[in-house]
């Protein structure tokens, strides 16, 4: 079976797979407006740092394409100034959908850069819009290729590390957290891409992944992706990471990232920090795999990363397909899965951060499409080479 996809681009429409319904139901949702794209990201119908940046950029491009065909054209196409005001407002709105994943901010900043240079070049509103449409599509187009590059860099690095330590570099077992595969990106994935690369090159024995409570990206999404790709895998409950490391040969933990600070501190799905502490205790390398667009060189360390707090209810329920889901509609009439409360009603004091920050100290390598960074003799990362800013 072909790999799963998060976004389907048609000549005149964009569709996303509704990740809230996976793994039990495959439902494609058409995204027609900026508001729908914002809502889909905020409610996590689409999630994963690169995928949300792709959807925002594609819907932004689609919205402008449609505006160019309107007759009469919308007033914001009447002058570069009007277009600038409209584009800035739209991009700022899209960036508010989720705060931690910087890829969304990188994409909106990149589009604003094109806006500025096209205005600076004295172009007419229609041509500025065309430039923006092209750039929006390019942001999505670039993702698949760079994922394959980082997967290869990271996979080769790990094999060499294992060999340096006296191992054969084959029969590797790699654990991951959350979902970083084709559902979280525009294809192949980041950390799950590294695992896929090891599998494709015959170096992988087994992938291990955590359920990743409370949203269960592991048990719902990573499980489905690994099953689809026929990669041998074992799921563990989040509380079993220590036990896994004590009783099994785990060669590495590979995780994605939502934002990497200049010193290498990395925000990723909640539970990554727990895994990192345990990996360090057991001498297992922790590899962060992410595109350059996830690196935020503007912030010195992880204390500056905004951490998204998800609604408390998400930590109080498990979702499943126990009941006919067609009877279960949200306020907008969309299908929802049955949610089973696992807490007493009225519980207060619920802590539900979506991400945690793993200090650079616990990270062995940071991999992007440009290469692998490891800590220098001073124990610090220098990310300039792997971000192309050297
Ligand atoms: O809340 P999510 O599901 O969007 O969180 C996703 C993660 O934390 C991923 O590890 C990260 O975005 C990298 S995806 C390639």
52 CA → ligand 1 middle, Å: 10
Please name the residue whose Cα sits nearest to atom 8 of ligand 1.
Answer: 269
SS (H, E, C) the chain: CCCCCCEEEECCEEEEECCCCCCCCCCEEEECCHHHHHHHHHCCCCCCHHHHHHHHHHHHHHHHHHHHHCCCCCHHHCCHHHHHHHHHHHHHHHHCCCCCCHHHHHHHHHHHHHHHHHHHCCCCHHHHHHHHHHHHHHHHHHHHHHHHHHHHHHHHHHHHHHHHCCCCCCCEEEEECCCCCCCCCCCCCCHHHHHHHHHHCCCEEEEEEECCCCCCHHHHHHHHHHHHCCCCEEEECHHHHHHHHHHCCCCEEEECCCEEECCCCEEEECCHHHHHHHHHHCCCCEEEECCHHHEECCCCCHHHCCCCECCHHHHCEEEECCCCHHHCECCCCCECCEEEECCCCCCCCCCCECEEEECHHHCCEEEECCEEEECCCCCCCCCCHHHCCC
Task: Report the separation in Å between the CA atom of 270 and the middle of ligand 1, taken as the mean of its atom positions.
Answer: 9
pLDDT digits (tens, 9 = 90+) for 266-321: 999 999 999 999 999 999 999 999 999 999 999 999 999 999 999 999 999 887 76
pLDDT at 1: 59
Q: Write out residues in the chain with pLDDT < 70, as ranges.
A: 1, 321-337
The full set of domains in the chain, from first to last, is: 7-143 (1.20.120.420), 148-308+352-374 (3.40.50.10470), 312-341 (no CATH)
pLDDT for the residue 319: 78
Going from the Cα of 179 to the center of ligand 1, the distance in angstroms, rounded, reads 6
Return the pLDDT at 116.
Answer: 98
Q: What is the pLDDT of residues 85-130, one digit of tens each?
A: 999 999 999 999 999 999 999 999 999 999 999 999 999 999 999 9
Chain mean position to CA 373: 20
CA 172 to CA 192: how far, in whole Å?
Answer: 14
Cα of 255 vs centre of ligand 1, distance in Å, is: 9
Place of tokens 């080479």: 385
What is the rounded CA–CA span in Å between residue 390 and residue 33? 39
- Best substitution site from 4, 17, 102, 179 to test ligand 1's pocket, by max atoms within 8 Å of Cβ? 179
Of ligand 1's atoms, which has the minimum distance to the CA of residue 189? 15
pLDDT score at 323: 45
Pocket test of ligand 1: the residue of 178, 196, 354 to mutate, having most ligand atoms within 8 Å of its CB, is 178
Tell me the C-alpha distance between 207 and 278, whole Å. Answer: 18
Q: Relative to the CA of 190, which ligand 1 atom is closest?
A: 15
Reported ipTM: 0.99
Tokens of 189: 């994935």
The CA distances from residue 93 to 16, 31, 60, in Å, are: 20, 16, 11
């Amino acid at each position: 079976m072909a790999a799963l996809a998060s976004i389907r681009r048609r000549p005149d429409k964009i569709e996303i797979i509704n990740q809230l319904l996976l793994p039990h139901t495959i439902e494609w949702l058409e995204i027609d407006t900026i508001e729908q794209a914002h809502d889909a990201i905020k409610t996590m119908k689409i999630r994963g740092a690169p995928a949300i940046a792709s959807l925002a950029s594609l819907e932004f491009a689609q919205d402008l394409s449609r505006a160019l065909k309107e007759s009469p054209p919308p007033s914001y196409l009447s002058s570069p100034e009007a277009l600038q005001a409209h584009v800035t407002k739209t991009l700022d709105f899209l960036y508010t959908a989720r705060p931690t994943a910087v890829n969304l901010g990188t994409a909106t900043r990149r589009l604003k850069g094109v806006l500025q240079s096209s205005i600076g070049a004295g172009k007419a509103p229609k041509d500025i819009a065309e430039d923006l449409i092209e750039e929006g599509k390019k942001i999505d187009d670039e993702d698949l290729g760079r994922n394959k590059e980082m997967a290869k860099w990271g996979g080769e690095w790990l094999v060499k590390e294992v060999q340096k330590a006296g191992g054969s570099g084959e029969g590797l077992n790699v654990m991951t957290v959350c979902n970083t595969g084709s559902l979280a990106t525009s294809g192949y994935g980041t950390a799950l891409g590294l695992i896929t690369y090891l599998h494709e090159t015959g170096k992988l024995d087994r992938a291990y992944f955590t359920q990743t409570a409370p949203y269960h990206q592991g048990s719902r999404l990573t499980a489905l992706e690994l099953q689809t790709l026929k990669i041998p895998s074992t799921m563990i409950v989040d509380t079993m990471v220590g036990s896994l490391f004590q009783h099994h040969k785990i060669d590495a933990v590979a995780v994605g990232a939502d934002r990497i600070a200049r010193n290498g501190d990395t925000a990723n799905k909640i539970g990554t920090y727990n895994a990192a502490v345990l990996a360090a205790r057991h001498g297992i390398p922790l590899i962060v795999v992410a595109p350059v667009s996830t690196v935020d060189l503007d912030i010195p360390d992880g204390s500056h990363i905004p951490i998204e707090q998800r609604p408390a209810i998400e930590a109080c329920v498990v979702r499943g397909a126990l009941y006919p889901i067609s009877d279960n509609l949200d306020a907008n009439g969309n299908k929802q899965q049955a949610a089973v409360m696992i807490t007493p009603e009225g519980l207060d004091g619920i802590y539900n951060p979506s991400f945690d920050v793993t200090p650079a100290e616990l990270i062995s390598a940071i991999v992007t499409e440009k290469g692998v960074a490891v800590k220098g003799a001073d124990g610090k990362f220098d990310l300039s080479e792997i971000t192309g800013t050297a």
